[in-house]
Chain A
Amino acid sequence: MTNVSAMAPAVEKIDAPATQSARLGLWLTLPAQLLVLFIALFPILMQVYISLTDWSPLDGIPWWKAHELWIGLLNYADLMADNRFWGALWRTMFVMAICVPVQFLLGLGLAVLFVDDFRGKRVLYSTLLVPMMVVPAVAGYMFFMLFQSGGPVNDLLSFFTSDPVRIAWLSDPDLALIAVMIADIWQWTPLMFLILLAGMISVPQDQQMAAILLGASWWRRFFTIVLPRMKSIIIIALAIRVIEIFKIFDTLFIMTGGGPGVATETISVYIYKVTQQELIWSYVAAIALAILIVLSVVSVFAIKRMQRGQKP
């Protein structure tokens, strides 16, 4: 059963004494409100403040005195000219542009194969979900081992060629990025499959039956009935992967550490390195704030649009 309207607040009040209910409701939502406030308000104010200074934890002055190192918008100006940042952003987008479509098409193809019953369906379904449940850091380590020059990937390739293959996957700039993308596709195709299959199953049968009676081919039914009915689910599945790949860190960082050089450095890895290795926290605050602002605007716009689209 689909319920795409779940995002719209489904509010129905039970009569009871109305004020008593309202008060209890407030108390019940209070802890969550406080946690959200705690993680949203203070950090963002602090981020704004620090990003306007040249503060770093090595300066020996506490963060609340960071205004002694006021530099105005210089950090933001630096950001505009920071090639490493734009490179990382571009790389993240590139990984997204390759991985999301591949995961989508693989997931959709698998969903088509799973939509009707066959022997062994349940076991095969559960088995296919295993990769997405592997701890991402552990998955990173798995692929780190697989892509060693003496590892199984090269061993398999050697099977098809006459000489033994000794490709150093993770120390070649181009191949390292490919290896990282393979790991992401391996781990997250199951998620696409899971969501798309659930969406496909929920497409009502009546129209399809009618189309079968009218003699429409399978392809025609798929493209004119099934896919259009899955539109909002497809958008959700794609959105989830776009969001997650934008954050990509664990697997990639364990596999390559962002290297060789900056060959696999994505936004999160770049921020991590500036935070932990170069310790220029005020600059990191500026980067992070810029990202937060752009994402907020985009997300509010997207969510509002989706909510509007769902109401008939």
Chain B
Amino acid sequence: MSGEASTAPKGNGWEPNILAFCCNWCSYAGADLAGVSRFQYPPTVKILRVMCSSRVEPAFILKALKDGADGVLVAGCHIGDCHYIDGNKNAEVRINNTKKALAKLGLDKRLRLEWISASEGLRFSEVIRDFTEEIKKLGQNPVKEVK
């Protein structure tokens, strides 16, 4: 279950750093449940709580990528479950547009949008593990290296 990386494709022992925007009502609670259930995942992610996934501005994502994140995760309630009726639908449109913009810079794979409910502790840990692996394959955020 542990996230010890035996082979790091880029750099010796290098591990990615991911910023996760989690909505207060579902995804943050899902991350809490992962903790309560002791589902282990690599220590590659730090969570920033927002009330709704729709709070996440493209500028936040760009800033995170510019300043050092190797990956950005935006996580909200499943469609239909949004605490704010349909905030997550707004988030979906916004994040997908941001992804398109990032594609021009070749950074789109570093941004992920996931729906994680308050009961999906296991899924939260799986998403982090999976995203970590994907970022490992991509290597360090090139923007960060330039900086």
Asked if A and B bind, the verdict is no
On A, residues with C-beta under 8 Å from B are none
